[in-house]
């Protein structure tokens, strides 16, 4: 029986991963969250892991008291989350949001766990280091992000060196078709209404700005060893074709399905086997599939991410950090929607040039980008 450690278990991906764990009968040996101890306690009582970890120290102390009648160990803080990631288990599914996921991924890799990766910020900020560590430890990184799972599935059986191009699809988000002038005064509520997917708040805003697609371009560069120029972003409103590849002979292979994150979550956990069917795709119902070029004049976060990965070094960490801070500012009602891209651009313009970087450099660049955003928000 597979032993699963789930980081970010209380979130959108985390709760769906537990549905998959129930369907597959996995043993869940570790659960981690940020601060939602009400849900984490329920999950702990159901799955009876060896340990749980809570990032927030105060919440961890409270959970320790609530779970005193069990023999579940309660760890706390960033150190506790990283310790949990290295404990008893075969696979670590990282569904933490933001750069907070980077160190736990590295801890899991060093403990030689298979990585099922939803936390795209891990590869965006630390791609080169993470890949080097994974190779050194003989660890596989299996994508959970639906597009990257689709690409990975399309590549099964493709000979090495045959990948020519990646076709990365995007839903276009809630503001598809809108121009800058339409977006001046959009509300948080409108930005949180995604047409096809129900996800955590941060990634939902990233989908509205197309930052999510920019982060996914960077994620794909690392996962599939391609150049940014080999990735074509296609706006595909129906979210049925989850992405694909073009091979050297021009053959295009793609993965299609209903928009349901349990499918890519499950594939990362059952790979190379296939799991259970959650929902059948009726192509007659889907009927029409459309593909358009993204509007990069209006949604500038996408070209900014392209520029960041082309420049390399810590530039992707800078755009990511600026975006995390700007999105938090937008969600708190402190800045307007269009300012998110402005702040990401301003941070990228000031990004230091560090071609060979360490984990410390990444966090320094992240902090600098966040400070710049904080200054403009004040």
Q: Report the interface residues with Mg ion, using CB under 5 A.
A: 145-147
Site for ligand NDP in 329-358 (CB under 6 A): none
Q: Which is nearer to Mg ion, 107 or 302 (CB)?
A: 302
Which residue stretch of 162-170, 198-206, 252-260, 351-359 sits at the interface with ligand NDP (rule: CB under 6 A)? 198-206
Binders of ligand NDP in range 129-168 (CB under 6 A): 145
Tokens representing residue 58 in the block: 């105060």
What whole-number distance in Å separates Cα of residue 299 and Cα of residue 344?
12
Residue from 5, 10, 93, 315 touching ligand NDP (CB under 6 A): that is 10
Non-local CB neighbours of 45 within 8 Å, separated by 6+ positions: 70
Which C-beta is closer to ligand NDP: that of 96 or that of 338? 96
Give CA–CA dist 358/93, Å, rounded: 24
Q: Is 304 in the site for ligand NDP (CB under 6 A)?
A: no
- Give the one residue of 41, 83, 121, 366 binding ligand NDP; rule: CB under 6 A: 121
Shortest Å, Cβ 367 to Mg ion: 27
Q: Which of 33, 67, 269, 335 binds ligand NDP (CB under 6 A)?
A: 33
The widest CA-to-CA distance across the chain, in whole angstroms, is: 62
For position 174 contacting ligand NDP by CB under 6 A, the verdict is: no
Compute the chain's Rg from CA coordinates: 20
Instruction: Give 37-99 as a DSSP string.
Output: HHHHHHHHHHH--SEEEESSHHHHHHHHHHTTTS--EEEEHHHHHHHHHTSS-SEEEE---SG
Minimum CB distance to ligand NDP, residue 7 (Å): 6
Residue 200 binds ligand NDP (CB under 6 A): yes
Residue range at the interface with ligand NDP (CB under 6 A); choices 92-100, 171-179, 180-188, 270-278: 92-100
375 in helix, strand or coil?
A: helix
Select from ligand NDP, Mg ion, none the partner in contact with residue 147, using the beta carbon and a kind-dependent cut-off of 5 to 8 Å: Mg ion
Angstrom distances, CA of residue 195 to CA of 190, 199, 236: 11, 11, 12
Q: Which residues contact 33 (CB under 8 A, 6 or more apart)?
A: 8, 9, 10, 11, 14, 39, 40, 52, 53, 54, 55
Which residues of the shown chain bind ligand NDP in the complex (CB under 6 A)? 8-14, 32-36, 55, 81, 95-97, 100, 118-121, 145, 197, 199-200, 202-203, 261
């Amino acid at each position: 029986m597979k032993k699963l450690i789930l980081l970010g278990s209380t979130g959108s991906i985390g709760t769906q991963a537990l549905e998959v764990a129930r369907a597959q009968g996995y043993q869940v040996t570790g659960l981690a969250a940020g601060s939602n101890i009400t849900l984490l306690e329920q999950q702990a009582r159901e799955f009876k892991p060896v340990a749980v970890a809570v990032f927030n120290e105060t919440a961890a102390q409270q959970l320790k008291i609530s779970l005193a009648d069990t023999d579940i160990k309660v760890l706390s803080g960033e150190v506790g989350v990283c310790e949990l990631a290295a404990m008893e288990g075969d696979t670590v599914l990282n569904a933490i949001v933001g750069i907070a996921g980077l160190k736990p991924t590295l801890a899991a890799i060093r403990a030689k766990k298979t990585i099922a990766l939803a936390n795209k910020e891990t590869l965006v900020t630390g791609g080169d280091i993470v890949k080097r560590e994974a190779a050194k430890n003989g660890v596989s990184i299996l994508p959970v992000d639906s597009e990257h799972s689709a690409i990975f599935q399309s590549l099964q059986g493709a000979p090495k060196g045959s990948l020519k191009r990646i076709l990365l699809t995007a839903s276009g988000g809630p503001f598809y078709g809108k121009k800058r002038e339409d977006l001046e005064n959009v509300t948080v509520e409108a930005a949180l209404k995604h047409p096809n997917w129900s996800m955590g708040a941060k990634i939902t805003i990233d989908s509205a700005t197309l930052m999510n697609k920019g982060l996914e371009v960077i994620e794909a560069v690392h996962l599939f060893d391609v150049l940014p120029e080999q990735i074509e972003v296609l706006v595909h409103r129906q979210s049925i074709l989850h992405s694909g590849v073009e091979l050297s002979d021009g053959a295009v292979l793609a993965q299609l399905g209903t928009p349901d994150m349990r499918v890519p979550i499950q594939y990362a956990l059952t790979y190379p086997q296939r799991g259970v069917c959650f929902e059948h795709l009726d192509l007659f119902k889907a009927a029409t599939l459309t593909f358009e070029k993204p509007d990069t004049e209006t949604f500038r976060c996408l070209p900014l991410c392209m520029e960041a990965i082309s420049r390399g070094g810590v530039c992707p960490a800078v755009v990511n950090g600026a975006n995390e801070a700007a999105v938090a500012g937008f969600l708190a009602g402190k800045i307007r929607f269009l300012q998110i891209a402005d702040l990401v651009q301003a941070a990228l313009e000031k990004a230091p040039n560090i071609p060979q970087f360490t984990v410390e450099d990444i966090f320094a660049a992240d902090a600098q980008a966040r400070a710049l955003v904080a200054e403009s928000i004040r």
